[in-house]
Each structure stands twice: as C-alpha cells, then as structure tokens.
Amino acid sequence: MEMVPSCPNHPDVVEGLRYCSRCGQVFCPDCLVAIRGNTYCATCKAEQLLDLTSGVDQFTLDLAGIGRRFAAYLIDLMVLWIPLIGIGIAIAVAAAGSKEFNPIWFQPAALLAIVLWIVYEALMLASRGQTLGKMAMKIKVVRVDGTELSSGQAWGRAFMRQVLASCLSIFDYVPAFFTKERTCLHDLVANTRVVNWS
Amino acid sequence: MNDATKRTRIGRNSNFATRQLVYRTPVGIEIDELDHFEIVRKRVFYDDVLLVTYHRQQSWGFIVLSALVLLLFGILAVVASSVPPLAMTLAAVAAVALILGTMRLLMQVEVVSVFGRRSKAAIHYAYRKAFARRMYNEICANVAAAQRRLASEIAASEPPEERAVEEMPPMPEEGTAEPS
Amino acid sequence: MAIPRPAYVGPQCPRCRAALPEERLHDGANVCLSCLGDFEARIFHPPQRSARVLQLAHSGPEGGVSCANHARNAAVAACDRCGLLICSLCQLDVEGGKLCPSCFERLSQEETSDTTRTRFRDYGSLAGIWAIVGLIFSALMLGIPLGILSLYYCAKAFRHRESRSSLGFVIFALLLAILDIFFSTSILSTIFRHK
C-alpha cells in the first residue's frame, strides 16, 4: 500500500500540495506563504526573511562588481600578452633577419591574438566557469539561473565577445554599467551573468 | 529612511579588490561594499551572532604597495637628480611611502571579526588601537544584550503554550495538535 | 531554485577562513589548527527564533477571524500598510512593522523598504566619475552635458542619504561639475566670439 502524500500539519489534505523552496517538504496551501515568487513553510519563512535582510538571499544572484570584472580582464590581458609578445618578438627577429620586411607580416599576429583569446576564454569557461583573471578576482560566469555554464555557451560567449568587441569596441561593455544585471552585450547574447565566487 | 536606522561608522575593511565600510546599527552590524556604481549592503544581526574575534595581523598588501611606490619614486628621483625641484618632490613622495610602510610594518593591523549564522563582518584598524579594543568590547556587549532580550521574549511567549500542551492531553475537539 | 554559491556556513578562523569546529572554541585566547594563528574570541549561543514562528494558529474560523490568505489559520495581526488581517505565517516583520506578503512584495519592488533593499546605486561615486570625465573632455564641449549629468547624480545623492558613501566626495563632485560647465561655456563663448 503506497503512502499518499499529505500535509504534515493537516493530514487530511492531500490535494494542492506544494514544495517549500528551502526545505523541499510538501505542505498544503495553508501552510505556505509566497515571498518574491517562492513559497516557504513556517520555519523556512523566518530563515528566508533573515537571509533577505542580511543580504545573503540564496535565490538572487550575487552579481560581481564592475571594478572586479575590469581587473580580471586586465589580468587576462597580461596573461595572454606573454605568448603574443613572444610571437611578436619572433616575427620581429625573422623580419630583422630577412632583407625585405613587410609590416603585413604582423597581420596574422592580430588574427592569432583573437583566436588565442577565444580559445583561452572558451576552454577555461567551459571547464570551470572562470578564466585566470576571474579566478584571481574571485568571480565566475554562470547561467542566468545560477547553474554552471555549458560548453556551447562558453564557446558562444567567447566568440561573440571578440566579434562584438572588434566591431563595437567599448560599446560591447557599456551596457554593463547601465543594466540592472550588469550584462555586457556578449552576456546578453550568451545568457550568462558574472557573479562573485569566493 | 527613518530615524530608527541610525547608524554610526565604525571602520573599514578595504583591500586591493574591494572597499567596505562598516557601520553599527541598533540591530546589528552593516557592511557596505562599494564598487563605484553600486553599494551592496550586508548585515549581521546581533541576534544571529555566533562568534566575535579580535586578532592582530600584518597587512602585506599595503606594505608591498608602499615598497613599490618607494622603489618607483626613488628611482625616478635619482634619474631626475639633475633637476633639483623635481627630484625633491619625487624624493618626498618616496619618503612618505617609506614612513607609512614602516609604520604599518611595525604597528600591524587589528582586526575585529563578527561571525553570524549566515553572514560575517570584519573591521580593520591600523592606527586606532584603543578604539579597536573598545569596539570589540562594545560589540560583544551589544550582542549579549540583544540575545538576552530575545531569549526573554521567547520565554515570555512560550510558557503558556508549553503549559497548555502539558496539562491537556491531545484532544481532537480542541483542534489540531501542534507538531514540534 | 536555490542558486549554488560558495556558502558561508558558520564561524571561520579570522585569518585563514578555515571552518572552526565548535568544540575547539572557547572564550578568550584560541589557536586555529589550520594556520596556527592565535586570536581572541567571545562565543555566543543565540536563541533559536524558529520556535516562535511555528505557532501557526490552529483552530480555523470557529472562534476567531481567519487569515485573508489562509483559510485555516487564525488571524493574529493586521498589516501596517493595508490593514489586511494576517496569520503568523503571513506576518513579515520588517523594521517598519508588520507587513502582509503582498505589501512586502510591493515595497521591495518599489525599493522603498529599507530592510530588504541591499543594493543601491552609488550616486555619489557616479556623480564624481562623470564630473572627472567631464573635466577631461571639457575641451570637447562635453563638459556641459557631463556636468549636468554629474549635477543630476549629486542631487540624487543628496536626496537619498543611504546611497552615498561620503558627503565630502559628493561636494567635491558638485564643485567639479560646476567647473566643467564653466570651462565648456567659456570655450564655447571664445569660439563664438572669434567667429
């Protein structure tokens, strides 16, 4: 004989049961209160209210500050400059060696830089949601609901970021200053958010 | 924006990545984290506090920064030694960095940390040592008072219920029994 | 759905942030086992609040009035804002008083409730940044629009006292913004005079 789920407080109610968003138990509608789109039972309601007023609400994203994101970007830039400068030096040495030097030799370096950026960002975001700069600044790229990125999203975000940054330069980043969720254009396209992760 | 939320600033907790200002309100400790565009506010209520600590540590970030400034401006001063006024200004900046760095190295920094059930706060005091000790004592006193008050409130509202449950065995006509 | 975040779950060593097991802590001098650092501590045992909330009034509307949202719960209070009769489950205690869930929702969306608002636009810093940018670009006549924008943020900073970190910085931004506008207008007037 199977147990029919019923409300722990009102055993006679077996219909219309819902879950409490925090403890996961089922309750009848009389034992649940709705706050900001989620339902809570009596004990969890007090905890949720304390969480909200303490600023540690587990149902809202802890969006990372712009200063931190910019610092992470600078660190990533420095990390990527090392191989790029190496390649630049190699080209310069090769150019100094040969008689005819054409500045167009540096073109593949620019393209290589973009490809390197995409590969670096995509691989690191797909594996752990953070690049080296983001790890140093303790921030992370997640989906809108807070879960981990899929590899498709990581590659899409990295690719679109380079495309948008090349076409629009800084305007790719400007929406981050004005939107509530601090999304750059590449965040909007890839449906991602950047949160604190310490 | 009511007068009940009167808050006084009691210190800072700033490092390379963040800038935090810490305040004290009648119900707890408030931490404002600033990043030039938004202020994110966290609270540790006195009713929630589990642990308050006090310790002394070295602030390496500040010392490394002042060492770098000293190095940079010192080298620039030497390079510009042919232009005395410029060299003097640069040397003055380097000297200031040296003095501040050495002071921080010798004095260290006192840290008062407040750990609650769901949030935490930390306040760094570099120069106001006596104030730090006073804050530690005051915060402990506030927490103890608030928790004592809460305990008496709970005790005041509980006994009638408990007595009722004890004296009356669960009778269906009275209503549903309270599951505990 | 709860968002996974590196949770702060309890007291940590103030130096190395390792979790401190309760049995190792005592009042006074302590040593952390992970980093061997010493610290002074005072331990507290806060009383559990949940005991109070569990008093979901049973016995429906036989003797008393029932809650507006829950038919089986007796009403124990009235919302301070709309007067709705609510049970202890609906009763949300904020610093201003008691609220019913719908008023709570409305206040937090309008962002007028001080207790639940935890993110504020930092008008002071914004005013300062726009003033500085305006000063840099005042030669390009951008000082006027950026100065006005900075003044707008200064006004907002003065009105919303909780959204600014330091009054001095706002005043500095105010002066800078006025300087911006002055610079740009003087540049404009010199250009027009020469035409």
Using alpha carbons, select from A5, A6, A1, A58 the residue that is nearest to residue A30.
Answer: A6
pLDDT confidence of residue C111: 63
Chain C neighbors of B34, CB-CB under 8 A = 122, 125, 165
- Asked if the Cβ–Cβ distance from B116 to A66 is below 8 Å, we say no
Nearest CB neighbour to C3, from listed A9, A30, A146: A146
Closest residue in chain B to residue C49, using alpha carbons only: B154
pLDDT confidence of residue C137: 78
State the average pLDDT over residues C76-81.
85
Residue C38 in this model has a pLDDT that exceeds 50: yes
Average pLDDT, chain C: 78
Residue C13 near residue C34 (C-beta atoms within 8 A)? yes
pLDDT confidence of residue B166: 43
- Asked if the Cβ–Cβ distance from C6 to A45 is below 8 Å, we say no
Cα→Cα distances A5→A10, A20, A39, B177, Å: 11, 14, 18, 19
| Residue boundaries of the structural domains of chain A | 1-56, 66-196
- The pair of structure tokens assigned to C122 is 């930092």
Nearest CB neighbour to A30, from listed C1, C6, C72: C72
| Residue boundaries of the structural domains of chain C | 10-45, 50-110, 123-194
Q: How far is A12 from chain C (nearest CA, A)?
A: 12
Average pLDDT, chain A: 84
- The pair of structure tokens assigned to B101 is 């760095």
pLDDT confidence of residue B10: 80
- B46 close contact with A: CB closer than 8 A: no
Using alpha carbons, select from A134, A171, A135, A145 the residue that is nearest to residue A61.
Answer: A145
To the nearest 10°, the Cα dihedral for B148, B152, B158, B159?
Answer: 130
State the average pLDDT over residues A62-81.
86
What are chain C's partners, defined as 3 or more CB pairs within 8 angstroms?
Answer: A, B
pLDDT confidence of residue C50: 56
Residue A193 host element (H or E): strand A192-196
Residue C138 in this model has a pLDDT that exceeds 80: no
ipTM: 0.76
pLDDT confidence of residue C177: 84
Between β-strands C28-31 and C92-94, what pairing exists: parallel, antiparallel or unpaired? unpaired
Lowest mean pLDDT among A78-82, C126-130, C137-141: C137-141
Below-70 pLDDT ranges, chain B:
1-6, 15-17, 158-180
State the average pLDDT over residues A124-137.
91
Average pLDDT, chain B: 81
- Asked if the Cβ–Cβ distance from B18 to A65 is below 8 Å, we say yes
Residue B34: partners with Cβ closer than 8 Å, 6 or more residues away: B18, B19, B20, B21, C122, C125, C165
Cα→Cα distances A158→A86, A151, A152, A188, Å: 23, 11, 10, 12
Residue A141 host element (H or E): strand A139-143
Which percentage of chain C shows pLDDT scores above 70?
Answer: 82
Nearest CB neighbour to A55, from listed B35, B41, B48: B41
pLDDT confidence of residue C51: 47
What are chain A's partners, defined as 3 or more CB pairs within 8 angstroms?
Answer: B, C
Chain B neighbors of C8, CB-CB under 8 A = 118-120
Lowest mean pLDDT among B156-165, C64-73, C150-159: B156-165
Residue B107: partners with Cβ closer than 8 Å, 6 or more residues away: B126, B127, B129
- Asked if the Cβ–Cβ distance from C46 to B158 is below 8 Å, we say no
Q: Which phi and psi angles does B35 have, rounded to 5°?
A: -140, 35
Residue C88 in this model has a pLDDT that exceeds 90: no
Predicted model pTM: 0.78
Residue C170 in this model has a pLDDT that exceeds 60: yes
- CA dist C73 and C67 (Å) reads 6
pLDDT confidence of residue A93: 78
Amino acid identity, position B103? M
pLDDT confidence of residue A161: 92
- Asked if the Cβ–Cβ distance from C114 to B151 is below 8 Å, we say no
Residue C105 in this model has a pLDDT that exceeds 50: yes
- CA dist C17 and C191 (Å) reads 62
pLDDT confidence of residue C3: 67
pLDDT confidence of residue B159: 58
pLDDT confidence of residue B17: 62
Q: How far is C160 from chain A (nearest CA, A)?
A: 19
Chain C neighbors of A33, CB-CB under 8 A = 69, 89-90, 101
- Asked if the Cβ–Cβ distance from B51 to C11 is below 8 Å, we say yes
- Asked if the Cβ–Cβ distance from C4 to A34 is below 8 Å, we say no
State the average pLDDT over residues A53-80.
85
pLDDT band of A46, cuts 50, 70, 90: confident
Q: How far is C182 from chain B (nearest CA, A)?
A: 25
- CA dist A57 and C118 (Å) reads 10
State the average pLDDT over residues A10-34.
85
Q: How far is B117 from chain A (nearest CA, A)?
A: 10
